[in-house]
Amino acid sequence: MLRGFLLISLLFTIAIIAVFGFRGQKSTGSPLEIFPDMVRQMKVRAQAPLNFFSDGRGPRLPVTGTLPIGYEMPTPKTIATPAAITATVEALQTHPRVGFSVGTDYYDTGKMANNWGTGIPLELTRELMERGQQRFNITCAMCHGATAAGNGITKQYGLATVVTLQDERIRKMADGEIFNTITNGKNTMMAYGPNIVVADRWAIIAYLRALQRSQNAAIADVPEDHRAELEKQ
Ligand code: HEC
């Protein structure tokens, strides 16, 4: 009984001191730092002079030959690329504005005036679809699953909020809104704009539409002479 009382009053005293005690007072002296970590260190501050370099400038100029990200990279001819991919990369590069979002038009934002627009602003070719499939499998499938059913591998590791893209809401969503989700992310999905060039985002959407169609098809969508094949499987 007495032990309990002593323990409780000790905890109580500690709590009172923690809340009200040692609040310090104003001082003009430098504070006592027991572990200063890296608070004070010699470092480069943006736009500030620095005596370290002979020209007295802190920030350095980029190394000669540095390419700003988002602009066309020279494709080394020495790396063997499968013909299909080379063809697609070239096709993408012939588009006047390969790169990351730079403009305010539909192609770069997914918006037509104030609304989400719809439609793929690139020519829908087999190459574009294959490019979209490849990019989808690289950048989206680990979360959304290979058929976009929301069952990617990350779900098994606890990313519980991944949604299925086969949902009616997403099937009916404007292409431009999906473009924006890829570019800027949405709620718990992070932005993929900095990782995927604009043309590839559209290629992914084109492929996603094909996936949605494939998972919501009726037998009537299959050409008649191919129906027998399906029934066999
Ligand atoms: C790291 C996991 C992850 C990856 C990779 C990922 N997503 Fe998502 N995505 C999510 C999560 C989580 C949500 C649910 C967001 C929410 O509403 O909380 C989501 C939601 C969405 C939505 C629905 C947005 C809405 O309006 O409800 C779309 C469309 C989408 N993702 C498309 C994509 C596409 C296309 C890619 C590939 C470029 C991709 N996602 C890559 C995790 C991911």
Using the mean position of ligand 1's atoms as its centre, give its distance from the Cα of residue 148 in Å.
Answer: 10
pLDDT in tens, 27-37: 888 878 888 88
Between 171 and 23, the higher pLDDT residue: 171
Burial of 144 (0-12, 13-18, 19+ CB in 10 A): buried
On whether the pTM is more than 0.75, the answer is no
How far apart are the C-alpha atoms of 175 and 107, rounded to whole Å? 11
Contact (CB, 8 A) for 129 and 206: yes
Q: Report the nearest atom of ligand 1 relative to the CA of 141.
A: 5
Question: Does pLDDT of 64 surpass 70?
Answer: yes
Q: 203: Cβ below 6 Å to ligand 1?
A: no
Q: Does residue 149 carry a pLDDT above 90?
A: yes
Per-residue model confidence as pLDDT tens digits over 71-100? 544 444 444 444 545 555 565 555 544 566
Please tell me if the CB atom of residue 181 comes closer than 6 angstroms to any atom of ligand 1.
yes
Q: Which atom of ligand 1 is nearest to the CA of 186?
A: 15
Any idea which of 121-125, 154-158, 204-208 has the lowest mean pLDDT?
121-125
CA of 55 from ligand 1 middle (Å) equals: 48
Does ligand 1 have an atom closer than 6 angstroms to the CB of 143? yes
More confident residue, 233 or 60: 60
Task: Calculate ∠ Cα 197-99-205, nearest 5°.
Answer: 35
pLDDT at 75: 47
Q: Establish whether residue 154 lines the binding site of ligand 1, counting it when its CB lies within 6 angstroms of any ligand atom.
A: yes
The chain-wide mean pLDDT, for the chain, equals 83
Domain spans in the chain, listed from the N-terminal domain onward: 83-216
Contact (Cβ atoms closer than 8 angstroms) between residue 196 and residue 204: yes
Q: What 3-state class would DSSP assign to 62?
A: coil
Mean pLDDT is highest, among 65-74, 182-191, 213-222, for 182-191
Q: Atom 42 of ligand 1 has which residue's CA nearest to it?
A: 189
Fold of 83-216: Cytochrome Bc1 Complex; Chain D, domain 2 (1.10.760)
pLDDT digits (tens, 9 = 90+) for 172-183: 999 999 999 999
Ligand 1 pocket member 202 (CB < 6 A): no
Asked which of 62-66, 106-110, 167-171, 191-195 is least confident by mean pLDDT, the reply is 62-66
